[in-house]
């Protein structure tokens, strides 16, 4: 299992900087998730780690040794492609053994390795089947097996669950987690799905526009997003971000709240005209409490999710301040009702409007 270090990796296609100064470190056996929207550079970064693409600048190290000039076949990485890339004309065991045969391992060793992998991934009963005879989950396991059979020191996965339907995805997610616990291979996992990121990762790297937005545990990116992008990206739906100044002026807030906020922020030397207030939909409450900020919300629509209801509304009817709130399922609220939403201080986040950076506010 290798420790992987990326130092200022950048990749440019023509004039397009797809990956911009990405630096991160993965400890031995760590499960690192590269998370971000489409086009953020996560797949390119993964391919650079694999060696299928070369970085335009920067360095890549395995266990402290640079592998930037090592060809992919010598890096001992295993990769699972989004579309699995299983050879359709070969059986499962042939797909698994193909790479080993090229390395001139002995037949007996190959057979043993194939058997072991099949047992590990519960594929023993389909060893002689061809990919088209397998279910989606089985195919995925074959793809996993093929990557694992050479006992790689780094394991790469490119959105492996995106081709599966929702139920299967849940199951495979937990299977992957189990697999990782068992094998403890340093893993890089690319996805745009936060659920996968939050549950599978030891560490999440949030990317946007080729740049790292934040590196942290699931807890950290959820509770302390480093900038407004992360705040909005994490969570479903993401955090509500409201422009503070108009908020304070326009009467969307209760008067008492305004002074409280001013107090909080003055201490940080923040420019009040350049602040975004953040509060997650699940943290907005219908019941008053002490130390809360109160918002007047005019409901535009409601959605029922079974486990909760979601209301989408505008603050004081202002088209620019959309608010989403999650409320308990048994509360009945209708469109055009105005409701008071309470945001506890401890769940408030502040970000600089221009840079998006987090404003640390002490002692809420």
Partner 1 sequence: MSKVSLLKRIAKQSFIVVVAALFAFPLYWVVVTAFNTKGGTYSIPPNFIPSFHLGPISYVITHTSWLHYIVNTVFIAGASVVLVLITSAMAGYALSELTFRGSGVLFLMIVGVMMLPAQALLIPQYAVAYHLGILNTYTVQIVPFAASTFGVFLFRQFFKSLPKEYWEAARLEGVGHLRYIYRVAVPLAKPAVLTVTLLTFITSWNQFQWPLIMTTSHSVQPIEVALSHYMQTFEANWRKLTSAVVLALAPIVVLFLLLQKHIVNGVAGRDSGVNR
Partner 2 sequence: MSIGVGTRWEPADEEALEASLIAPTARLGVRKRIRTLKNKLMGYGLMFPAISVFVVFFYVPAIYLLYISFFHWGILSSATNFVGLKNFKTLFSQPLFWHSLVTSVYYTVVMIPATVLLALGIAMLLRAGMEGKRGGFFRGAIFLPHVTPVVATSIVWVWIFNPRFGLANFLLTSLHLPALGWLESQTWALPAVMIDSLWHSLGLYVLIFLAGLANIPKDLIEVARLDGAKRHRIFYRIIWPLLSPTTFFVVVLSTVNSWQAFSQIYTMTGGPHGGAGGPAFATTTDSLLVYQTAFTYLHFSLASAMSLILFLIILTLTLIQKWISDRVVFYR
139 vs 283, beta carbon nearer partner 1: 139
For 71, the token pair is: 């060809």
User: Distance between CA atoms of 207 and 230, rounded to whole angstroms?
Assistant: 9
**Total residues interacting with partner 2, rule: CB under 8 A:** 33
Pick from 83, 151, 174, 268: which binds partner 2 (CB under 8 A)?
268
28 vs 337, beta carbon nearer partner 2: 28
85 vs 272, beta carbon nearer partner 1: 85
Q: Is the dihedral of CA 313, 316, 322, 323 positive or negative?
A: negative
The interface partner of residue 85, options being partner 1, partner 2, none and the CB cut-off 5 to 8 Å by kind, is partner 1
Q: Rounded to the nearest whole angstrom, what is the least distance from the CB of residue 258 to partner 2 in the complex?
A: 22
Pick from 15, 38, 69, 307: which binds partner 2 (CB under 8 A)?
69
Pick from 15, 38, 71, 363: which binds partner 2 (CB under 8 A)?
71
Residue 32 CB partners (closer than 8 Å, separation 6+): 24, 26, 186, 187, 188, 189, 201, 202, 203, 204, 205
150 vs 308, beta carbon nearer partner 1: 150
Q: Rounded to the nearest whole angstrom, what is the least distance from the CB of residue 288 to partner 2 in the complex?
A: 30
Q: Rounded to the nearest whole angstrom, what is the least distance from the CB of residue 72 to partner 1 in the complex?
A: 6
Torsion of Cα atoms, 17 then 23 then 27 then 30, to 10°: -40
User: Distance between CA atoms of 135 and 149, rounded to whole angstroms?
Assistant: 21
User: Distance between CA atoms of 238 and 260, rounded to whole angstroms?
Assistant: 25
Pick from 8, 83, 151, 236: which binds partner 2 (CB under 8 A)?
8
75 vs 141, beta carbon nearer partner 2: 75
Q: If you search the block for the tokens 């987090």, which residue do you land on? A: 358
274 binds partner 2 (CB under 8 A): no
Q: Rounded to the nearest whole angstrom, what is the least distance from the CB of residue 108 to partner 2 in the complex?
A: 32
Provide the 10 A C-beta neighbour count for residue 72.
16
For 330, the token pair is: 């048994």
Choose among 59, 76, 69: nearest CA to 6: 59
Q: Rounded to the nearest whole angstrom, what is the least distance from the CB of residue 65 to partner 1 in the complex?
A: 19
User: Distance between CA atoms of 339 and 286, rounded to whole angstroms?
Assistant: 8
Binding residues for partner 1, rule: CB under 8 A, are 50-52, 72-74, 77-79, 81, 83, 85, 87-89, 98-100, 102-103, 146-147, 150
70 vs 76, beta carbon nearer partner 2: 70
Site for partner 2 in 214-233 (CB under 8 A): 214-216, 220-221, 224-227
CB 204 within 8 A of CB 198: yes
269 class by beta-carbon count within 10 Å (0-12 exposed, 13-18 middle, 19+ buried):
exposed
5 binds partner 2 (CB under 8 A): yes
Q: Rounded to the nearest whole angstrom, what is the least distance from the CB of residue 316 to partner 1 in the complex?
A: 53
The DSSP code for 357 is B
Residues at the interface with partner 2 (CB under 8 A): 5-8, 23-25, 54, 57-59, 66, 68-71, 212, 214-216, 220-221, 224-227, 268, 270, 352, 357-360
């Amino acid at each position: 299992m290798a420790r992987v270090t990326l130092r200022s990796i950048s990749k440019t296609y023509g004039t397009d900087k797809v990956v911009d100064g990405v630096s991160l470190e993965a400890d031995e056996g760590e499960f690192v998730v590269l998370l971000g929207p489409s086009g953020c550079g996560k797949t390119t970064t993964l391919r650079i780690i694999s060696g299928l693409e070369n970085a335009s600048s920067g360095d890549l190290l395995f266990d402290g040794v640079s592998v930037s000039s090592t060809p992919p076949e010598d890096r001992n990485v295993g990769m699972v492609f989004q579309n699995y890339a299983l050879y359709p004309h070969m059986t499962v065991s042939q797909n698994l053994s193909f790479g080993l045969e090229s390395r001139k391992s002995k037949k007996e060793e190959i057979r043993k390795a194939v058997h072991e992998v099949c047992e590990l991934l519960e594929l023993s009963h389909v060893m002689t089947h061809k990919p088209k005879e397998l279910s989606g989950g089985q195919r995925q396991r074959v793809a996993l097996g093929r990557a694992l059979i050479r006992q790689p020191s780094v394991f790469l996965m490119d959105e492996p669950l995106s081709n599966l339907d929702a139920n299967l995805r849940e199951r495979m997610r937990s299977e992957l987690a189990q697999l990782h616990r068992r094998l403890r291979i340093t893993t890089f996992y690319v996805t745009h799905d936060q659920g996968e990121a939050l549950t599978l990762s030891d560490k999440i790297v949030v990317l946007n526009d080729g740049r790292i937005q934040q590196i942290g545990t699931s807890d950290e990116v959820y509770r302390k997003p480093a900038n407004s992008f992360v705040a909005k990206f994490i969570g479903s739906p993401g955090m509500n971000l409201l422009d503070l100044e108009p908020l304070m002026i326009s009467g969307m807030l209760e008067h008492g709240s305004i002074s409280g906020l001013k107090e909080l922020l003055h201490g940080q030397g923040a420019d009040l005209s350049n602040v975004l207030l953040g509060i997650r939909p699940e943290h907005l409450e219908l019941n008053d409490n002490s130390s809360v900020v109160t918002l007047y919300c005019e409901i535009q629509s409601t959605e029922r999710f079974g486990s909760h209801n979601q209301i989408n509304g505008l603050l004081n009817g202002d088209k620019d301040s959309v608010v989403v709130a999650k409320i308990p399922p048994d509360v009945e609220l209708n469109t055009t009702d105005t409701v008071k939403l309470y945001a506890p201080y401890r769940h408030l986040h502040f970000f600089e409007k221009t840079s998006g950076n987090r404003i640390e506010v002490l002692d809420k």
